[in-house]
Amino acid sequence: MSASLSRAETFSLVALSAACVGIIANTFHGDGEPLIASLAFSGIAFAFTFSLIRWLGDTFMAAGLKGRDMSKVRKVEIPETMGAVCAIIYLLTVIVFIPFPFYKDIVAATSGGGNRDVVIELQQVETGRFLHRFPHSKLASYLSAILSLQSVVILGIGDDLFDIRWRHKLFIPAFASIPMLVVYFVDFGVTRVVVPVPLQRYLGELLDLGWLYYAYMAAIAIFCPNSINILAGINGIEVSQSLVIAALLLVNDALYLTPFSLASTAMAAFRSIAPSTQNDPSTAPSPPYANHSSGGTGGGASGGSGGGAQRKRRIPGRVAQIACTECRHARAKCDGVRPDTCSRCLGRNTSCIYEPHVKTHKDDLLREIETLRGDNAGLHDENEGLQEATDHLRQKYQGLREAGAWMTFILDVLGTDGHDQEIIRRLRRGESHQTIASWLDGQHEVTTMLERIPAPQRDLVDVIRRLEGHHQGFINPSESTEAAEWQWTRVTSSQKLVRHLIDLYLTWVHPVHMLFNESKFMKSFQNNDLSYCSHALVSAICAMASHLLEDLGDVAAEREVDTTGLRELFMDEARAKLVPQEYNRITSVQAFGVMFLADLGSGKARKATGYLRAAVDSLKSVNADGTSPEILEGLAWGLHTLDTAWAGFTYQKPFSPESANAVAFLEVQTDQEDPLWRLYRRPGDEDSSGRPSLALLTTRSQVRLYQVVHEAINVFYGTSGKATAQSILRCYAGFLTWMHELPAAVKDVDIDRQPLPHVLYLHIQYHTAVVYLLNPLLQCDKLSESDRAELKKVVVYHGRSGLELLEQTNQLYSCRYQMTLNAFCMLHLSDAVIRQSPNDPPASEVVAFCLDLLRQSCGGFAINGTLQEMFRRTAVDYNIPLPEEINELMSPETPYGLDEILDACTRLTYMQPTDLFTHNIEDSIGMEWSEEWESVMAFPDAPCRRRSVGDSRRTMHITSLLND
């Protein structure tokens, strides 16, 4: 290698050095920036080391410091002891670097007179600076490290020059560790070490080694240099070992970029920080300084009389903690107290400006800001608590005022027109004041007293009266005494309104979620019999049917507010009638199930889930005495279907204990004559022509479908191990078998035959279940690309088919009456289509289609507004353009926060947690999939054997639907 540098090397090294010098000079404009300065010094040290090794190679060889490289083919002579060049440059660089880590401390000690943060009385001040805040311990650690490094360097150079024997040089590094150990002993003195966990029961968490700690540290000093020297002469290993040690030191130092408060880590965490502010200077006592002579004589000034006092600095009698700006710039003592003018500025006729010094008070200000932020957060939480307490008290006060108004209204009526006996009788029967007042309001003799009722109750009573009037008249005195004596619900005295709500439930809800026998229920209801009917069940049915109320004539503008209040009254009534001693009655179990549907539609999924769990738990101990097995089995399978569906949409294991292999409807006669189904929406529709409802047949098919869904849920959530290709495709084969064996009466959903809404919903559930089963596999990298492509076609097929059925439902009946679980089906089908097939149909049109169908039922089902917002956010996440008429498609603007989302689906999103599913899939699924898939595709109802999805009769017309 040439002893001189090339032009390119010279230019590069000079440029590097100049840049590093510029960086070092720039650090003086800020807080010193020791880390940046150390990098700059490293660059300069590299340039000098590179140059000196090249320049001094021949000189070392001329001095006899040379040897042959025995590991090379050509054993040429090369210079030795070149490590001394690197070591000396490193030591010089570290020495020159001393001012930079302490730059802020030096500035703090010299700017404005070295003790500006401490009040020092006149008699304590002497000439020279008392570096009160200077970190002497850190400087001592730094200098002792340099001494130790110098000692080790001397060892290395001596070894190369004198060939010291191993038994002699082995212990020389122990002497090099003395400076650092002395400083450690004086400043820290911590000799305890952490005991490994297995030994802590015998030795405790910390063990004090005493003097053995220092022997151990000396042994470390012996080991470090000799571990490298042992490998000297083996090319590459010695240097690579040094590089590994340097990298580990960098990692270790990076861990200490955050300050530590433990004394045992303070030395290892040496870093450049602002002057220490651990002790508050305003409260720390002044150190007991003693008068010291500045010279070598003991008490006399140099050149003066031996008994004369030494000359002191002329400073103010009091030194301020923070000097004013003028004194700070002049580096003079300041005796001013904010906002007064100090004596120095007063003598110069200038005003004092007190500013905290940025270099020394930045950390204090940051700590104060954090403290204030914490205080502000605490006050905010306290304010929220007070606000909640205030709202609670206000509601309680309002409730007391309203109850008082009801009682006043009743008392005013007492003694007039013969109502006193009836009122007393109702009070003894346990009826509430509100119910009695509502009954009195229905009497034509007391209608003029309605003005006495508070505004909220007056509005609610007025709503009920107008609803009753819309449904063919108020209750009037001509009604029979028997009807007046027996009331299934105390919310309203109008039997016509109650009957209208029951007819709505039996038309739209009962065929989808069959929890009781319709004929037996209606017989008990009409005969005031408690065998298959109860007050709680009737109130729950009315609450659920309130979601479906519409066409209220002159109260249409108040529909949402009014029906919501009416629904809450029915729910309160149902809860009041469900007493613990009757939980095991079959009608109570049915009421729990209906209350789940009612609260779920209101956007109260978390509360509704409790009702569903109560229904399942109460069913286990139900009192079946006198109850037909048909009723009991129908209820059990109805709850099983409802529970499994909700578990599938919320991704949890079902509560229901029913087995997926049990035979459904053994006791239920599905071949019996069904009641007629009529398109009932408003009073008068009951006289329209009807057709067989197929409700029992649809329910039995639905139960069998959800037996397969139950098995699919257990595949991913069960305890039988991870999901395999056989277990997953067994579920898919179960779905195909279900479709193949579906009775012809409910299998044909051609729009020309006008299939019933619950039949269409049955097919929508089928397609949703298949998407639910196969969609997670599209994210599974354990399957091949070809297998996932085939799966994608199946998922897209079922997604499009489900959306087509939704469009068909909307054309025949509108989606105003769709159940909440059907809305979840629509979300999953739409989500699968826009993700897996965003171009056919266009994803933006699918988004508009889904939002429009949800909008139609937002007025009755509050949960659909939240589902709308969740699906809109999903479309935004997928970068799908929202339709231009988005404002018209969305429900009235409502803040959908965390509670609203959790009350919609008990989770933060409606989407499947595919990451959890794929984690529970067997690793070997890819090897078994192809063979199992071919056998499933041979099924008659497999998608590949069906008519083309692009058939003109099965093509989606979402665009035309939205443009209608």
Tens-digit pLDDT profile for residues 476-493: 433 433 444 467 888 877
Is the model's pLDDT at 805 over the cut of 80?
yes
707 and 787 together in one domain: yes
Q: Which of 189-198, 279-288, 634-643 has the lowest mean pLDDT?
A: 279-288
Q: What is the DSSP letter of 393?
A: H
535 and 585 together in one domain: yes
Listed in sequence order, the residues at least 6 apart from 653 whose beta carbon sits closer than 8 Å to its beta carbon are 647, 713, 714, 717, 718
How many Å apart are CA 170 and CA 160, to the nearest integer? Answer: 14
Residue 25: CB atoms within 10 A of its CB come to: 11
Write out the residue range of the structural domain in which residue 770 sits.
694-835+916-963
For residue 692, give the 3-state DSSP assignment.
strand
Task: Judge whether 814 lies within some domain.
Answer: yes
Phi, psi of 879 (to 5 degrees): 60, 40
For the segment 348-390, what is each residue's pLDDT rounded down to a tens digit?
888 788 776 555 566 677 778 888 888 888 888 888 888 888 8
Listed in sequence order, the residues at least 6 apart from 699 whose beta carbon sits closer than 8 Å to its beta carbon are 511, 514, 634, 637, 638, 641
Residue given tokens 């006495």 in the structure block? 452
How many Å apart are CA 801 and CA 783, to the nearest integer? Answer: 25
166 and 78 together in one domain: no
Sign of CA dihedral 215, 221, 227, 232: negative
Residues in the chain: 964
Residue given tokens 């298959």 in the structure block? 532
Which residue would you say has higher pLDDT here, 112 or 697?
Answer: 697
Phi, psi of 316 (to 5 degrees): -65, 160
103 and 147 together in one domain: no
Q: Strand 77-79 and strand 66-68: pairing?
A: antiparallel
Predicted TM-score (pTM) of this structure: 0.53
Q: Region 609-626: what's the mean pLDDT?
A: 85
Task: Judge whether 803 lies within some domain.
Answer: yes
Residue 556 confidence class, pLDDT cut points 50, 70, 90: very low
Residue 885 confidence class, pLDDT cut points 50, 70, 90: confident
Please, are residues 584 and 617 in contact by the beta-carbon 8 Å criterion?
no
Please, are residues 853 and 893 in contact by the beta-carbon 8 Å criterion?
no
88 and 170 together in one domain: no
Residue 650 confidence class, pLDDT cut points 50, 70, 90: confident
Amino acid at 666: L
Q: Counting beta carbons within 10 angstroms of the beta carbon of residue 78, is it exposed (0 to 12), middle (13 to 18) or buried (19 or more)?
A: middle
Q: Which tokens hold the place of 752?
A: 């020309």
575 and 604 together in one domain: yes
Amino acid at 367: R
141 and 246 together in one domain: yes
For the segment 629-648, what is each residue's pLDDT rounded down to a tens digit?
788 888 888 888 888 888 88
Q: Which of 23-32, 175-184, 260-269, 333-342 has the lowest mean pLDDT?
A: 260-269
Boundary (domain end) residue, out of 275, 298, 315: 275
539 and 472 together in one domain: yes
How many Å apart are CA 616 and CA 455, to the nearest integer? Answer: 41
* Angle between helices 586-601 and 535-545 in degrees, nearest 10: 20
Residue 488 C-alpha from the chain's centroid: 46
Q: What is the DSSP letter of 429?
A: T
Share of the chain above pLDDT 90, in %: 7
Average pLDDT of the chain is: 76
43 and 142 together in one domain: no
Boundary (domain end) residue, out of 583, 607, 627: 627
For the segment 47-82, what is each residue's pLDDT rounded down to a tens digit?
898 888 888 888 888 888 877 777 777 777 888 878
803 and 949 together in one domain: yes
Residue given tokens 């205080």 in the structure block? 375
Which residue would you say has higher pLDDT here, 276 or 909?
Answer: 909
80 and 169 together in one domain: no
Task: Judge whether 639 lies within some domain.
Answer: no
How many Å apart are CA 807 and CA 50, to the nearest integer? Answer: 79
* CA distance readout (Å), 451 to 246, 408, 840: 89, 12, 61
Q: How many domains does the chain divide into? A: 4
pLDDT of residue 751: 82
711 and 736 together in one domain: yes
- Looking only at Cα atoms, what is the longest distance across the chain? 134
Run of H or E including 77: strand 77-79
Q: What is the DSSP letter of 879?
A: T
Residue 713 confidence class, pLDDT cut points 50, 70, 90: confident
Task: Judge whether 818 lies within some domain.
Answer: yes
Task: Judge whether 780 lies within some domain.
Answer: yes
Residue 272 confidence class, pLDDT cut points 50, 70, 90: very low
Residue 633: CB atoms within 10 A of its CB come to: 15
Q: Region 568-575: what's the mean pLDDT?
A: 88
pLDDT of residue 249: 82
Task: Judge whether 48 lies within some domain.
Answer: yes
For the segment 121-141, what is each residue's pLDDT rounded down to a tens digit?
444 444 445 455 677 778 888
Residue given tokens 């169908």 in the structure block? 853
Task: Judge whether 15 lies within some domain.
Answer: yes
Task: Judge whether 359 lies within some domain.
Answer: no
Residue 945 confidence class, pLDDT cut points 50, 70, 90: very low
Please, are residues 107 and 359 in contact by the beta-carbon 8 Å criterion?
yes
Boundary (domain end) residue, out of 240, 275, 310: 275
